[in-house]
Structure 1
Amino acid sequence: MRRRVNNVLALCYVCLALFLFVQIQKHTSFRSEQMPLLLLGSPLNWSAKIHLENVEIIAEECACRSQKSEKIHDFCYKLPEISSIRKLGFHNTIVLYSLGIKEKRLEELKETACNLEIRNFNFSKYPGYVAHLKDYRWKPIVIAETLRDFGAIWYLDSSVIFEKLNVSHVYDLIKCHGSVHESSVRDVRESREKHEDGWNREIWERNLRECRKGQYLLHGYSGHGILSVTNPGVYTYFPTNPHELSKKKAKMYDAGFVFAVNTRQTMSDIVKWYFLCALQEDCMAPKGASLGCSFRGDDRFTEYADCHRFDQSIINLVLANQFWYDRRYYVSEIVDFFHIDRGGSSGHFDKDLQCI
């Protein structure tokens, strides 16, 4: 399967519309014979700070789809993410990936929004099933390409609203690597410490001392574990430890809000498998997979709830397998710089899309 999918990689360029909040490290890239999608070059120099002046924005979303079909509506924008970023004072470029919005609407948006670049996705470069939007295969494809192009990114789904200009407390978490505690120690830690709320300085300082976060960080907890909402068909492609995966430290986090850096570990151990799964027909979307869950009582971790979270299940499983089934190594544990607004907007342009 790997060899067959690898042959497709050379054709891969980005999919769909999305709002990414991108930190440019243009000379940072990854060397791999198995990942021809990515540029060749040097690994990221972590001695240098990530400067907010260099932040660029790639934004979602270009289109909304019907809940009952794959039809793309011409003008159903959700624009609060752009507005929230502009209100904070960012003047950086917004790159919009379009799935099929009419040119007239895109031109109107380009005229209204500050520093907007539009990229159109060519579905003909991908297997036909990539166009099935409800399979969410576009997310890993977009993340892989933008990491290739920009080096370090904030990926935001249309529901994510930024509240802070300064997120250096997140960047500080991923500057070094220390040792890892034994599984039993981490089990006790998970049972004793409360769930993240705002910015807990005590936990943050401990994380700095432990110095073991990965460079692909999730942020928003989804309210359940990984095992309970991952179709068993996925394990054909990703063997795992079900006992560890059923523990509470293997929590699932939203796939639609990510800070990621193009390092060897990120690209070779995480993004590559996320990307390859998207291109394998039965991996990200096993036959019969459905979003609707049937949890047993209050159990959100130990029993399969007959549902599947598609891209979210895959990236969480890949991260859990890579980071000892312990979410503390692949989530920021900081939630004071954003909130989630799934209501979207009416689709009308407003002055907040402009630079201030």
Structure 2
Amino acid sequence: MRHVSVLQLLSILVRFFLISVIATLIVLIIRQWNEGMTLFQSSRNFLKLNLFQLQFVAYKDKVETARGLNFSCGLKSYLHKWKISDDFSYKFEPIDVSKVVIVTYASSNHFFEARRALRSIRSVFKNKIIFYDLGLNKNEIAELKKVCNLEVRKFEFQRFPNFVSRLMGYNFKPIIMAEVFSEFEHFWIADTSVRFFNVTPFLTDFYNNITSSAIETMALRHPSSHSIFAATHPSMYEYLPIDAALAKELEMLDANTMFIARSEMTREAIKWNALCALTEECMAPSGEGIYCNFREDRYTMRAGCHRFDQSSINIIMASLLERDGWKRRDRVQDDSMRNFTIVKRGDGDGLPLSIPCQ
């Protein structure tokens, strides 16, 4: 009798185990179905599961040309927090010029430039300014609080991997873009070297061109006079691949001045840029700095330098524009931002800020 009971117990355990396995497989299949991928593509993909979604895809003439290495699945929590994961979708909304936000940032060694930048912004805009503190002292923060309609935000380096705190890696910029994107429909990203001037009527025309799709919703328009290829570390291509001929053909655009409007393209661009910024070997591969040694050919020959976030956003946008069939910009320089912005590096002063609301 005891022997029969043991057999029955074993039978119950086996059935329970099989039911558990089947239930687990059903849950996995449903989850993968909802996330838009086939679970059993191969044994390799079965093991990787969702990692497939974190591969950047390169395009040329609407055709896929390459896939990058998978970004860590552990970075997905950042994407959800910033509302830039594939669970979110955005449509372009009309630009309300009064609600466009201007975002800038500085540490103490660039605060003398920041003073001129803020005076420049306030000379043409009444809009909200968000200033990210990358390492300011209390006197500098006190100055910022004397600027009308300006919010100081402490960049919380402790929330991110340690390498993000190295300012010369520029990992902070894509993170700032992602944070602001989660809050605002339209905003400018501007280095402290950027000066605004003479915005009427040129800025109105610029906004109208974005609304009419003559300009993309993540707009960079300061040409650098060299190609993407010339100033990008080859290791970045492991995560963010690009067709080699395209990288040599396309003008790299400066990332010191960017206008960003929410759209599905912008969400994707900011997502990939943030993933690269949170991956040390993607954004800041070792071995090369920002200073270039250009040769006679500034397009097909490397200059032994790397432009960090500027390289990443140029590669990403090049692929998205190729995928979606936008007219290739080649070396035709649409420099429409230069009608109302100029870059003046090292241009600063020691006069304390005081710009009260009127």
Q: TM-score, normalised by structure 2?
A: 0.71
Compared with structure 1, are the counterparts of its residues 329 and 244 closer, same or farther at alpha carbon in structure 2 (3 Å cutoff)? closer
**CA, structure 1 residues 224+125, in 2 after alignment: closer, same or farther (shift >3 Å)?**
same
Paired with 1:102 and 1:87, the residues of 2 have a C-alpha distance of 25
Tell me the matched-pair count: 284
Task: Choose which of 136, 149, 153 in structure 1 pairs with 2:170.
Answer: 136
Task: State whether residues 173 and 332 of structure 1, in contact with CA within 8 Å, keep that contact through their aligned partners in structure 2.
Answer: no
Please say if 1:147 is aligned against 2:147: no
Letter in 1 for 2:227: G
The correspondence of residues 143-222 of structure 1 with structure 2, limited to 5 A, is 143-166=177-200, 167-177=203-213, 211=214, 213-222=215-224
Cross-structure match for 2:315: 317
**Cα distance change, pair 350–101 in 1 and its aligned pair in 2 (3 A):** closer
2:240, 2:332 → 1: CA distance?
A: 18
2:251 and 2:330 in contact (8 A); partners too: no
Aligned-CA RMSD value: 2.9
Tell me whether 1:124 sits opposite 2:158 in the alignment. yes
3-state SS of 2:246 partner: helix
Give the 3-state SS of the residue equivalent to 1:276 in structure 2.
helix
- Output aligned runs, 1:85-96, within 5 Å: 85-88=121-124, 90-96=125-131
For the structure 1 residues 158 and 252, does the alpha-carbon distance in structure 2 shift closer, same or farther, using more than 3 Å as the test? same
Q: 5+ unaligned residues in a row in structure 2: which ranges?
A: 1-50, 55-69
Partners of 1:276 and 1:141 lie apart in 2 by: 9
Quickly say closer, same or farther: Cα 1:236–1:79, change in 2 above 3 A: same
What are the within-5 Å matches in structure 2 for residues 22-61 of structure 1?
Answer: 32-33=85-86, 43-45=91-93, 48=94, 50-61=95-106
Q: Deviations over 1:48-77 (max 9, x none)?
A: 3x2322233333334327xxxxxxxxx655
Confirm or deny that 1:342 pairs with 2:342: no
CA distance in 2 between counterparts of 1:227 and 1:4 reads 22
Q: How many angstroms apart in 1 are the aligned matches of 2:73 and 2:333?
A: 29
Letter of the aligned partner of 2:142 in structure 1? E
More helix by share: 2
Identity of aligned residues (%): 32
List per-residue Cα deviations over 1:95-122 (Å, max 9, x = no partner): 2211232234312331x21122211122
Asked if 1 retains the 8 angstrom alpha-carbon contact of 2:290 and 2:307, the reply is: yes
Unaligned stretches of 5+ in structure 1? Answer: 15-28, 35-39, 66-74, 178-210
Counterparts of 2:122 and 2:209 in 1: how far apart (Å)? 25
1:130 Cα shift? 0.4
Given that 2:100 and 2:188 are in contact with CA atoms closer than 8 Å, whether structure 1 keeps it comes out as no
Counterpart AA for 1:101: L
Which of residues 112, 116, 119 in structure 2 aligns to 1:83? 119
Change in 2 beyond 3 A, CA 1:302/1:108: closer
Contact 1:218 1:331 in 2 (8 A): no
- Aligned counterparts of 2:305 and 2:277: Cα–Cα separation in 1: 18
Bigger CA radius of gyration: 2
TM-score w.r.t. structure 1 length?
0.71
Aligned partners of 2:333, 2:294: CA distance in 1, in Å? 24
